[in-house]
């Protein structure tokens, strides 16, 4: 073989080799969003309050900066909780494939919390850092990186729900409205309480309704065999599948709709407690988890076939 031919083959091989891709979620950005959303200024983000209105304005600005289009006429999806006005914040990243962009994935989290709680050392603001400023921050960061990548063939809706603490009100409203629109929903992923790492687990996060679909199995396959998602027995025992904003989408559409979480009942003592503060969140863990979620979501959004399916 001549040297020129060898060089030609080498160049062709290099041209066809996929470039390595580094995903870097900024800990500084995670910190900025997390600390603002769980600050005293927002007074616990209770649905219908002035504090959650400030959170809504902040999240609208973040979606605009990222480059998401409003799913509705504006980013706000309005509904009522009793006599109080409430708003989901909803943006969309359109798919780049003419056929597959008619299929949708929803990535969501609730951004409301309980407002105030039992006073401790003079503090009665339930800041809700882990529950669920952490999940909300996660959705914002996923939206940012997926928008920058632009690799999604399917369209992705990013939804931040209000009224979760009032009984999944925001997600129920949105699921019912999207069902009326007859959108083609492929899957829904919900982020809930991802602010602290689990203890002594072989996976990074657990998924509720683990046996309901092959989502965890396929997701780990999409992540080059990394065990990103796993099974937590307590999630089934506590019936967590039905207790977060994934559930209304499962009810309406009957598709894989599940929650990703790292709160394992032993790693964080401040559930619905005024000490659920940003200072107790592990920002490095959050950034690392999000970095490991992105490849799986990108693959979900780009496979030719619907590989993620219900199993029960």
pLDDT for position 22 = 80
pLDDT for position 9 = 36
d(CA 249, CA 157): 13
pLDDT for position 158 = 99
pLDDT for position 19 = 35
Query: Do the Cβ atoms of 91 and 63 come closer than 8 Å?
Result: yes
pLDDT for position 17 = 33
Query: Do the Cβ atoms of 28 and 288 come closer than 8 Å?
Result: no
pLDDT for position 225 = 79
Report the chain (312 residues): mean pLDDT per 10 consecutive residues.
Answer: 39 36 91 98 98 98 98 98 98 98 98 98 97 98 98 98 98 98 98 97 97 97 92 96 98 98 96 98 98 97 98 88
Entry pTM: 0.93
The structural domains of the chain, ordered by start, are: 24-300 (3.40.630.10)
Q: 128: left (phi > 0), else alpha (psi -120 to 50), else beta?
A: left
CB neighbour burial string for 119-136, b if at least 16 within 10 angstroms, e if fewer: eeeeeebbbbbbbbbbbb
pLDDT for position 99 = 97
pLDDT for position 21 = 62
DSSP string, 30-99: HHHHHHHHTSGGGTT-BTTSHHHHHHHHHHHHHHHHHTPEESSSSSEEEEEETTEEEEEEEEEE--SSTT
d(CA 218, CA 186): 14
d(CA 100, CA 102): 5
pLDDT for position 20 = 40
d(CA 86, CA 172): 13
Q: Does an H or E element contain 184, and which?
A: strand 184-191
Cis peptide before 286 (omega within 30 of 0): no
């Amino acid at each position: 073989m001549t040297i020129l031919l060898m060089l030609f083959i080498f160049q062709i091989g290099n041209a066809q080799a996929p470039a390595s891709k580094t995903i870097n979620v900024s800990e500084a950005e995670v910190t900025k969003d997390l600390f603002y959303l769980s600050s005293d200024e927002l007074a616990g983000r209770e649905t219908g309050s002035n504090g959650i209105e400030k959170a809504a304005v902040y999240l609208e600005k973040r979606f605009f900066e990222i480059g998401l289009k409003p799913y509705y006429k504006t980013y706000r999806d309005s509904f009522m909780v009793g006599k109080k006005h409430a708003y989901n914040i909803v943006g969309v990243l359109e798919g780049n494939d003419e056929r597959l962009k008619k299929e949708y994935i929803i990535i969501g989290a609730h951004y409301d919390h309980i407002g105030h709680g039992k006073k401790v050392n003079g503090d009665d603001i339930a800041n809700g850092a882990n529950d669920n400023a952490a999940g909300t921050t996660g959705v914002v960061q996923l939206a940012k990186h997926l928008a920058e990548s632009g690799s999604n063939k399917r369209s992705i809706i990013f939804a931040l729900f209000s009224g979760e603490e009032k009984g999944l009100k925001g997600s129920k409203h949105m699921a019912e409205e999207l069902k009326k629109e007859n959108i083609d929903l492929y899957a829904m992923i919900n982020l809930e309480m991802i602010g602290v790492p689990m203890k002594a687990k072989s996976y990074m996060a657990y998924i509720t309704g683990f046996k309901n679909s092959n989502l965890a199995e396929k997701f780990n396959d999409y992540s080059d065999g990394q065990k990103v998602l796993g099974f937590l027995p307590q999630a089934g025992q506590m019936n967590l599948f039905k207790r977060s904003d994934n559930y209304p989408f499962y009810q309406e559409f009957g598709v894989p709709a599940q929650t990703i979480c790292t709160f394992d009942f032993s790693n964080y003592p401040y559930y619905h407690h005024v000490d659920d503060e940003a200072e107790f969140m592990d920002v490095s863990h959050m950034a690392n988890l999000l970095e490991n979620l992105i490849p799986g979501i990108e693959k979900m959004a780009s496979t030719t076939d619907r590989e993620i399916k219900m199993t029960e």
